[in-house]
Amino acid sequence: MKQRIITAIIAAAIFLPIVIIGGVPLIFLAYLLASIALYELLKMRKLKLFSVPGLIALIVLWIFLLPNQLQDILIALKYSKVEVALLAILLFLTYTVATKNKFTFDDVAFSIMSIIYIGMGFLYFIEIRETGGLIYIFYSLFIIWATDSGAYFIGRAFGKRKLWPEISPNKTVEGFFGGIFCAVVVSILFVIFSDIDASFLKLGIITIFLSIFGQVGDLVESALKRHYHVKDSGRLLPGHGGILDRFDSLLFVWPLLYFFHF
């Protein structure tokens, strides 16, 4: 526990000031976190980042992460993100032939899904900060922290029915709803004490959806780790695992928050 607390304090001391500053430092941070997350995800399937398909995936991820204000680069080249993704698929498929199917069709699908899964989350992290301002980033962080804390403590105190034991044996139905309740309480505090542009009802409804899908994001990561027989996605954060272990819920929450509110 002591190690987890120390790691959390150090990580917050680095992460939060950059989020507050925004702009180029925030974009750089998103690129760094997304690149590490891609490395962790490819490693689960025993694919190397520093390989031909790994570098293709990394380059496409970086292009996918280009925020709206920087898409003039693609426009100047007369390409769209969709066209870049389609080109990447052709390159991946070509590589299956070049390696005589050592890099398989399943590896192609995994690589593309990894790019979309990670890229979509961190892209909307950037867009929410630049479009909605700092308040919505803090809102999303506090909602997920409240959900995680509520699910853990209420689950331990009252949990009797397993939520999804085949994927995450320790999660309970009571903890699931406890997490949603705590998230809604936090959303009420945001309406009262901040200048967030939303009514009690609107933010409450959005919060319920975000809390639910934040927990789904956590379960998705658990399912991935269980499928590939790994305990943590990485070791970058002692006591916490890897970047995917810490951002799995937010990778679901940030795109949904953007779609619901912006």
Torsion angles phi and psi, residue 237, rounded to 5:
-110, 95
Asked if residue 136 lies in contact with residue 198, where contact means CB atoms within 8 angstroms, the answer is no
In order of 4, 12, 114, 232, 240, the CA distances from 1 in angstroms are 5, 16, 31, 16, 10
Q: Which residues contact 115 (CB under 8 A, 6 or more apart)?
A: 38, 57, 60, 61, 64, 85, 88
The size of the chain, in residues, is 262
Greater confidence (72 vs 101) lies with: 101
Query: How many Cα atoms are found within 13 Å in the side-chain-facing hemisphere of 127?
Result: 21
Distance CA 87, CA 177 (A): 43
- Per-residue confidence at 1, pLDDT binned at 50, 70, 90? low
Mean pLDDT across the chain, nearest whole number? 91
Query: Looking at this protein, which amino acid is placed at residue 213?
Result: F
Per-residue pLDDT band for 88 (boundaries 50, 70, 90) equals very high
pLDDT score, position 262: 65
3-state secondary structure of 56: helix
Q: Is the pLDDT of residue 8 over 90?
A: no
The predicted structure's pLDDT at residue 80: 84
Residues ≥6 apart with Cβ < 8 Å to 180 = 147, 150, 208, 211, 212
Asked if 213 and 140 touch (Cβ cutoff 8 Å), the reply is no
pLDDT value for 160: 85
165-205: pLDDT as tens digits? 888 888 999 999 999 999 999 999 999 999 898 889 999 99
pLDDT bin (cut points 50, 70, 90) of residue 79 is confident
Q: 135: pLDDT confidence band, cut at 50, 70 and 90?
A: very high
Of residues 102 and 132, more confidence is placed in 102
Q: Taking 80 as the threshold, does the pLDDT of residue 239 lie above it? A: no
In terms of Cα–Cα distance, which of 225, 219, 140, 131 is closest to 175?
219
Q: Are 143 and 184 in contact (CB under 8 A)?
A: no
Residue 111 has a pLDDT of 96
- Distance between CA atoms of residues 46 and 78, nearest Å: 35
pLDDT at 2 > cutoff 70: no
* Residue 69 pLDDT greater than 90, yes or no: no
Q: Mean pLDDT across the stretch 43-71?
A: 91
What is the pLDDT, as a whole number, of residue 224?
93
pLDDT per position as a tens digit, 10-41: 888 899 999 999 999 999 999 999 999 999 99
pLDDT at 236: 80
Specify the pLDDT at position 223.
93
* Model pLDDT, residue 12: 84
Lowest mean pLDDT of 55-59, 242-246, 258-262, name the range.
Answer: 258-262
Confidence at residue 36, expressed as pLDDT on a 0 to 100 scale: 97
